[in-house]
Structure 1
Amino acid sequence: MLGKTYLTKQASLLMKYARTTSDSELSAKLISKAADLKSQADPLPDKDQSPKAPDVSPDEQPGS
């Protein structure tokens, strides 16, 4: 599953390309795809919820 950060970044890039092209049909398609990616990203949690490595204690702070 793709993460929220990845989907949001891809949507932003598509919007950037849509603004730079002079082809209105291409621009509309890019905007549509960006909206689709944004709608996929919105319900996802803001932070990475992937499992931690087994050797990582949840109480452990980096550098301690």
Structure 2
Amino acid sequence: MEHVAALQRTVRRCTAVVVVAVGLLVGAVSSETLPVAALLVVGSLLYLAVSAVYVSPDAAEPDATAADGE
């Protein structure tokens, strides 16, 4: 199950990077000041920062199979 959690975390982080890019593109293309684009960029960057720093308690526990060499 450790691999599934890591894959889910990777998908969430990649999605956040895509949302940052979309927010920047919408902000650059739009002729008006669009607070939605700024919210997308700031929210995604905040998520990426927190996900890089925060380690869930489940992930911090050592895996029982790691001692077996697998």
Output the TM-score relative to the length of structure 2.
Answer: 0.49
Indicate the residue corresponding to 1:38 in structure 2.
45
One-letter identity of the residue aligned with 2:30: T
Instruction: Tell me which of 9, 14, 22 is aligned to 2:31.
Output: 22
1:13 to partner: Cα distance: 1.0
Q: Which runs of 5+ in 2 are unaligned?
A: 1-7, 53-68
Output the TM-score relative to the length of structure 1.
Answer: 0.53
One-letter identity of the residue aligned with 1:7: A
Indicate the structure with greater helix content. Answer: 2
Determine which structure has greater relative contact order: mean sequence separation of CA pairs < 8 Å that are 6+ residues apart, divided by chain length.
1
Q: How many residues of Structure 1 are paired with residues of Structure 2 in the alignment?
A: 45
Is contact 2:19–2:40 with CA below 8 Å preserved after alignment? no
Percentage identity across aligned positions? 2
RMSD: 2.4
Runs of 4+ in 1 over 6 A off after TM superposition: none
